[in-house]
Chains A and B, each alone.
Chain A
Amino acid sequence: MEIFRNMRRRKMRSSLTILGIVIGVLALTTMGALSEHLNSLVDGGVKYFGSSIQVTTPAGQSTPLLPMSAQKQIAARPGVVAVYPHYSFEAKPGTNGGASFGAPDTIIAADPGELSHGDLRLSVASGTFVASGSHGQVLLGSVIAKDLGAQVGSVVQLPQRPADAKPGFVSHPFTVAGILATTQTAPDNFGYITQPDGQMLLRDSLPPALQGSVDVTTVAQSFTAYTTPGASLAQLDTMAADISSHVPGVSATKPSVTVAQFQSFSATFTEITVGAAILALVIGGLSVINTMVMTVSERVREIGLRKAIGARTGHILREYLREALAIGVIGGIVGWLLGFGLTSLINSASGVSGGLFLVTPRLTAIAIGFAAGLATVAGVLPAIRAARMDPVRALRTTG
């Protein structure tokens, strides 16, 4: 309580100092929340693409379809334990899937068995996974479910009919079998359907002239290959090179290339966050140093008195560090609350699917801990000055 009474002795100065910390932490929280959202997306991408091999058509091939026969050839390559065909479609064609910070709302057709492979594991928050080989069922990510206003058991039309739908546009009713737990990464925006339903949507997407001539059960848009858990990127790269060179008509992307692209993308945002932190350091730190120097100067006689009645250097040091810490903690909490409020407001007002900002427990701890640590460090020099004060001189100080 004495700390707060001391802060109230110079209300304006204490308030301005805390405001400096608040601004710094506000900047740190908002920029950090942007970065956290991006990092979570990147983490998910790194987990998925860093534990699987994406096999597509070679560059320059006019038709982006692979023969289903390639699945067996890929599966026969050394180290490959499972291969799944993939089909993906825009869930909201013509609108870029709606504004999204991460992946657009997408329909993914894959075998449910694939979910047991790779490092990115999904769990169902409500309902169940889609049964393998079933028709007319969809498992929705948490964000796309919200976008579609869907609940378990409700029926959604996929793909969603755009306002400017072309003649012949087809969508199908899908019953929501389950909704995934939030992952803060791409699957939040995905609707998972079975392979047969994916082939149905593929047929719908083909030009009318081809719809009757292409057997969609014999083609896939891409394959995803898996090896045993725990394989390194280098091992996956070797396997990708092996697939590309030994399976005709396919191109396997080295996972390390994809992972590097993800990581370089997030590096810029991390730099922005660090920049915000440095800004907070400069503004808040100087502000706290100034306040604590003034505080010590004003309380010289008090310090002398405390030393005269038995306070040791450590006692005085702790008292002033606690005061600096209190400034940091108050500024940190207020700054974080403002940052949390601002990012929540923007998330709900922007209409961006999945929001722009993600305030995580880690970011909360960093923001408040950073403010507390910064203020304490900034208070060290003034506190040392106070603690080392000669009691006789201090007591004789006038004013």
Chain B
Amino acid sequence: MTKNRTESDLTTQDSAAWLEAIRNQLDASARDLDGATLSRLNQARQRALGEATRARAPRWTWMALASAASLALAVFLLPGLRTGAPVTPIPVAAGAVEDFDLLTSEDQLALYSDLEFYAWLESQDLDG
């Protein structure tokens, strides 16, 4: 019953004309908005459009960032590959092996604990 009454309210000629007058009145009120209000609406729309675009951006932005990072690695960490020249091994510092033995030897560690004694002994020799 409600449905029939509602549908008839919207479709009878009398109601249609009445509703059309209401629509026209509402359209006029929406059409005649002042400039300040229209400006605010425009700003709101631009913000929304920016948000819609931004929401879609991360996927290709992250891919671009990842590829840029890989490019940086390729350029700065592997310079030999850029020119095709053979990779030169990093030269081992002279005496590095001896230094390593010195640092790990137990005898040498005992020597470091008596450094003050040897310094005194050396000064005695110079004085004598």
Q: Are A and B associated in one complex?
A: no
